[in-house]
Amino acid sequence: MAEWQNVIRKRDFPMIAQGSCEGNGMVYLDNAATTQCSRPVLWALEDYWQHQHANVHRGVYCLSSKATAAMEETRQLTAEFLGASPEEIVFTFGATDGLNLLANAFAAGELKPGDLVLSTEMEHNSNLLPWLEACRRSGARLELVAVTEAGNLDMEDLRRKLERKPRLLALTAVSNVLGTVNPLEEIIPLAHEAGTAVVVDAAQAMRCRETDVRALDCDFLVFSAHKLMGPTGVGVLCGKAEWLDRLGPGRFGGGMLRELNWPEAAYEAGGRKFEAGTPNLSGIAGLGAALEYLQAVGRKRIAAYEKELLHHAEKRLSAIGGVRILGAPEQRAGVLSFVMEPLQAYDVAMLLDKKGFALRSGRHCADALHARLGLSGSVRLSPAFYNTKGEIDALADALKEIGSVSRKAGIPVGEKTRG
Ligand code: PLP
């Protein structure tokens, strides 16, 4: 184990070092679902509730000004983290919330009957259902770009569909099932040539990929803090300034009104136009601490180590008779999913739980992808930088044992692939 990693495990993630789930030695490998908060995040949350809690942009008193300044500081920090400007940052309640906000705004003011919207077969439901509903409401049509057998986005299909000049392409940066890293550097210019705006779902990408929205030139990008060692219930929608100016607010309420000249209402400019109601203020404080923490550990170091860990997992798991890893994408990050047929994914995850491993089973909210793969579910391994190769080795041993015990019980796990 690298020295830095040993330090952060013990110092910043005691539950990970001791074994989660009341210290019973559980190895936590479900980081694609949510990550554990680092200690600095927990301190920031406590500090917020003890010293800063008041509503923002509303009071002239000292505490409200302090809370407002802290939130705006986090906006600045988030903008720097993404390579955007603070006016382009909207605080949301998570990636799903950001995508719904966008889809509502597009349905209300941008999409017209007959318009084409594209998403892909590998999306999380949070980047499908909001667009499906937006299309239903506006009379536009949603089509999905195909995924190849290997689990890559089918670039030929994308090119063909772009010829029809879709209004929007909403796609993930990293698949939450296959770990496919989509070549955004290639896709976004192609989309823009067709006059198509691009929404990037970066929920799985922010921790393991450095993301600069200016370099990418995406029109919108969303993520959640809880997949970055931050708290739940808070996220970010980053949008190009010209788009945020052009779109309607998507939802309405206190905090986003500039002037009411009844019945005419004028709204705030920039990101604040989209922040109706009281934001998740403690969550935003936690998000700021999470971003600072990732910067301090080093995003390049995190990305390199997580890549090494995933590569190790791929090597170990693919050598186990009966384990079939889903897809072989050109580039994989963050997650690896597998099946152990004829065992059900649910049963494999339950057996792993009994052996002290926390992995997710099911469709991982990627129903369209599982339908494409002809599977009712899979088991997902998603290590983070606080996990170790030793934990992956222990998981591989546990899977081997599950396979051999099943075979002894007459369940032919891997029988076809053995020998
Ligand atoms: N998009 C992707 C690719 C995800 O993996 C997830 C969560 O797993 C989401 C969106 C939704 O994130 P949240 O539940 O934090 O809104």
DSSP states of 115-148: -EEEEETT--GGGTHHHHHHHHHHT-EEEEE-B-
Inter-residue contact 32 to 176 (CB < 8 Å): yes
User: What pLDDT shows up at residue 418?
Assistant: 44
Q: What is the pLDDT of residue 20?
A: 56
The binding-site residues of ligand 1, defined as CB within 6 angstroms of any ligand atom, are 32-33, 94-96, 124, 126-127, 172, 176, 201, 203-204, 224, 226
Do residue 255 and residue 112 come from a single domain? Answer: yes
Substitution site in 102, 120, 180, 224 for ligand 1 pocket (most atoms within 8 Å of beta carbon): 224
Residues 275 and 237 in one domain: yes
Is 252 found in the same domain as 132? yes
Does some domain include residue 414? no
365 given a catalytic annotation? yes
Distance CA 355, CA 165 (A): 52
Residue at 419 is within a domain: no
Q: How many alpha carbons fall within 13 Å on the CB side of residue 296?
A: 12
383 CB contacts (<8 Å, ≥6 apart)?
Answer: 29, 31, 306, 309, 310, 313, 391, 392
Asked if residue 368 is part of any domain, the answer here is yes
Environment class of 72 (CB within 10 Å of its CB; exposed 0-12, middle 13-18, buried 19+): middle
Total domains, the chain: 2
CB distance 147 to 120 below 8 Å: yes
Radius of gyration of the chain (CA): 22
* 395 domain-assigned: yes
The rounded Å distance from CA 207 to ligand 1 centre is 13
Atom of ligand 1 nearest to the CA of 94: 16
Same domain, 265 and 353: no
Cβ neighbours of residue 71 closer than 8 Å, sequence gap 6 or more: 56, 91, 279, 281, 284, 285
Residue 235 DSSP one-character state: E
Residue 237 and residue 93 share a domain:
yes
Atom of ligand 1 nearest to the CA of 226: 15
Please give the single-letter amino acid code of residue 207. R
Helix axis angle, 3-12 to 281-297, nearest 10°: 160
| Domain boundary, last residue among 272, 295, 318 | 295
Burial class (CB within 10 angstroms; exposed 0-12, middle 13-18, buried 19+) of 247: buried
The counts of H helices and E strands in the chain are 16, 15
> Are residues 124 and 257 located together in one domain of the fold?
yes
Give me the phi and psi of 120, to 5 degrees please: -135, 165
Provide CB contacts within 8 A for 162, sequence distance 6+.
118, 169, 190, 191, 193, 194, 196
Ligand 1 atom nearest the C-alpha of 176 is: 5
Q: Which tokens sit at 209?
A: 């990929």
302 and 207 belong to one structural domain: no
SS3 26: strand
Q: Is 75 inside any structural domain?
A: yes
Do 230 and 351 share a domain, yes or no? Answer: no
pLDDT of amino acid 419? 39
Look at residue 415 and tell me if it is in a domain: no
Q: Are residues 290 and 304 in the same domain?
A: no
pLDDT in tens, the chain (419 residues): 678 888 888 889 977 877 755 455 689 999 999 999 999 999 999 999 999 999 998 778 898 889 999 999 999 999 999 999 999 999 999 999 999 999 999 999 999 999 999 999 999 999 999 999 999 999 999 999 999 999 999 999 999 999 999 999 999 999 999 999 999 999 999 999 999 999 999 999 998 778 899 999 999 999 999 999 999 999 999 999 999 999 999 899 999 999 999 999 999 988 889 999 999 999 999 999 999 999 999 999 999 999 999 999 999 999 999 999 999 999 999 999 999 999 999 999 999 999 999 999 999 999 999 999 999 999 999 999 999 999 999 999 999 999 999 999 999 998 864 43
Residue 230 alpha carbon to ligand 1 centre in Å = 14
Domain encompassing residue 374: 2-30+298-408
